[in-house]
Structure 1
Amino acid sequence: MEIQPKKPSVKGPAAMFTGDVWFDVVAAPQPEPSRMRVNSVHFAPCARTAWHSHAVGQTLHVTEGVGRLQSRGGEVIEIRPGDTIYTPPGEWHWHGAAPEHFMTHLAMWEAPAEGPESEWGDLVTDEEYGTK
Structure 2
Amino acid sequence: MRVLPKPATAKTPQERFTGDVWLDMVVTPQEGDQRMTAGLVRFSPGARTAWHSHARGQYLHVVSGVALTGTRDGQVLRVCAGQTAYCAPGEEHWHGATPEDFMEHLAMTENADDPARTTVWLEHVADEDYRSA
- Sort the TM-score into its range (normalised by shorter chain): over 0.9
* Corresponding residue of 1:127: 128
> Which secondary structure does the structure 2 equivalent of 1:61 belong to?
strand
Contact preservation (8 Å) 1:76, 1:129: no
* Corresponding residue of 2:8: 8
Contact preservation (8 Å) 1:20, 1:44: yes
Deviation at 1:66, TM superposition (A): 1.6
1:27 aligns with 2:27: yes
Map 1:1-132; keep pairs closer than 5 Å.
Answer: 1-114=1-114, 116-130=117-131
Following TM superposition, where does structure 1 have runs of at least 4 consecutive aligned residues deviating by more than 3 angstroms? Answer: none
- Alignment gaps of 5+ in structure 1: none
For 1:124, give the aligned amino acid: V
**Count of residues in correspondence between the two structures:** 132
> Which secondary structure does the structure 2 equivalent of 1:119 belong to?
strand
After superposition, the C-alpha distances for 1:15-46 in whole angstroms (9 at most, x for unaligned) are 00000000100012322111110000000000
For 1:126, give the aligned amino acid: D
d(CA) in 1 for partners of 2:48, 2:99: 10
d(CA) in 2 for partners of 1:42, 1:21: 6
> Which secondary structure does the structure 2 equivalent of 1:31 belong to?
coil
d(CA) in 2 for partners of 1:87, 1:67: 13
Identity rate, percent: 48
TM-score w.r.t. the length of structure 2 is: 0.94
